[in-house]
Structure 1
Amino acid sequence: MVLAIIGGTVITLMTWMQHGTEQTSGKIVAAVTGAFLLGAAGLNHAIVNSLLMFAALNTGHAPFGYLQWAETAGWAAIGNIIGGVGLVTLLRIVQVPHTLKAEREHPAPGVPFHE
């Protein structure tokens, strides 16, 4: 489960890196880095695992069946969601004090600010 959580975090970071640039080269670097981290660190990602397991099932020599695939994909997806949503939530929580301070110092014109 820990590897699935980290895998979800890596994919979320990769997505943010790709959305943070207009340059194609930057998007490619983000994708290659994310793919390298998933593969080299052996991180668990639902899509990657599903592709590998389906390939094994199609050979007819897989030591597991479709039920095992569904269980593995389900746990991987849960871990990926926890990792991605957890990262987004953590970063938003860290940003809140700075945003509140900025709003107090420079309130928008015509908008009353109440604590």
Structure 2
Amino acid sequence: MVSIKILDPRRSIREPGTGYFYRTMTAKLYRQGMAIERWDFGNAKKYLRDPVNDPAGCNAPNLPDFQITIPINEVFCDPPFPIPPAYIPVIPANITGNNFIIDLYRIQRIALDANM
């Protein structure tokens, strides 16, 4: 399961180049039997008072540190109980590749553009 939290904009300050309000955003990936993975990907770091002079790291698309990679076979894994020894997840034919990749920068830009 992926959860994304987008906090309210900081109405008192904007990005100089875009005019977007600064916002804190957090994503978490929960997978059974594994530690929770977490990303702070807003255009303002969490708890930061001065985003202009201390910019956030999620500032371009395709940055590996701000991508959530989910193996496709984990998404389509829905075994019966008890799990048969030879169980293989059935992946639809129109799904290609080995992973789903969520680029958090793209989500950040959509949220900032929405000015919610």
Of structures 1 and 2, the one with the larger relative CO (CA 8 A, separation 6+) is 1
Compute the TM-score of the two structures, normalised by the length of structure 2.
0.25
Q: Which has the higher helix share?
A: 1
Compute the TM-score of the two structures, normalised by the length of structure 1.
0.25
